[in-house]
Amino acid sequence: MDFTLSREQQDIIKAAREFAQGEFPDRALEFDREEKFDLDIWRKACELGFVGVFIDEEYGGAGYGFLEHCLIVEEFWAVDPGIAMAIGSTTFGSEILGLFGTEEQKRLLLPRLVEGEAIMGTAITEPDAGCDVTCANTTAVRDGDEWVINGSKMFATNGNLANFLLVFCMTDPDNPSRHDRYSFILVPTDTPGYSSSKIRGKLGIRASDTAEISFTDVRVPLSNLVGEEGKGFKELMAFFNRTRLHICAQAVGLARAALEESIRHTKGREQFGAPIASFQVTQFKIAEMATHIRAARNLYYEAAWSVDNGKIDHALIAMAKWYSAEMAIRCADEALQMHGGYGYIDEYKVQRLYRDAKILEIYEGTKEMEKTIISRSILK
């Protein structure tokens, strides 16, 4: 068993770290406070090849696996989660296109994402449909050679910025199986009847755009169906088996940042005539954080390697997602505690990390859902 990353993978890590450290720190606090993002940073990331590396070479990507993508995600999140999320989410949904899209759809859209010419996202969650996506009520009805879409979506990433979205729609409401009622429809956001409003006041990842969306008689061609009609739920589950890996890498990157900030602060801060880092209680906290980070990274490395090698282990992916998210929150909490009062003000990075961490246990499947997947796999 070889745990050594290849030279190419190590070079990817080095390049991603250098880019993030050079571009993110000076703008991170500004973007967090003002809930905005400078798309020029995203364009630079595209130019340097950091966006959509898992997209096949024939569609403009680097043709790497999800492990290489996760290596980049971890490095970006270790510098600033908000900016990292704003960049990484610009290809959100391309996994579905890559797996289930037609050749025409892939050739038309995927290169634009990699080259920094377009942004995409997904519209899945609804006001009354979160973890149970089979309660979604947004409909897509055939009318001649078009789909007519009506409904609303909540918490849509890039809903205000995206050029096109993959929308999870009910296309067969009378099907006796709830899981066979849904399909993914590709919707350009400049289509009449599409409207979005920015969700403000989020706890964390404020640089990333999140929107509430409404569809009022939105008409798109029947050819905008992605995958098979009625197979949207299965396609969504396949999507989550990839995107949950991203969350694991996000969590490890954030926890690393929390650890680094803690080391820096406790070495420089003196109490009772000695650096805080010299106290055993602090040393134990540092040791625990480092150990949890290593364990979470090993989990997501294994899960990503398995996916890249065609072995989809639902329980392993759920374990990695649940553990890494909980670990990141714990590390952020300990980091803030070690900063004391300084950690409570936003000029200190640790405060942003503390706020950014919580979403990791919520999006792409709550921690309760991940534990359900794990337990069902074990008890079946």
Pair of tokens at residue 296: 């979470």
Contact 163, 170 (CB under 8 A): no
Pick from 162, 169, 164, 163: nearest CA to 185: 169
Question: What span, in angstroms and rounded, lies between the C-alpha atoms of 299 and 278?
Answer: 31
Instruction: Output the six-digit token pair for 187.
Output: 């919707």
Query: What is the three-class DSSP state of 295?
Result: helix
Looking at the chain, list the stretches that DSSP marks H as alpha helix, in order from N- to C-terminal side. 7-23, 25-34, 39-47, 66-79, 81-88, 94-100, 103-114, 232-268, 280-308, 314-339, 349-357, 367-379
Burial class (CB in 10 A: 0-12, 13-18, 19+), 148: middle
- Spacing of C-alpha 112 from chain mean position: 20
Active site residues: 364
Eight-state DSSP code of residue 117 = S
Q: Decide: 133 and 98 in contact? Cβ < 8 Å.
A: no
User: Do 222 and 145 contact (CB within 8 A), yes or no?
Assistant: yes
Answer for the pair 155, 210: CB distance below 8 angstroms, yes or no: yes
User: Cα(101)–Cα(94) distance, rounded to whole angstroms?
Assistant: 9
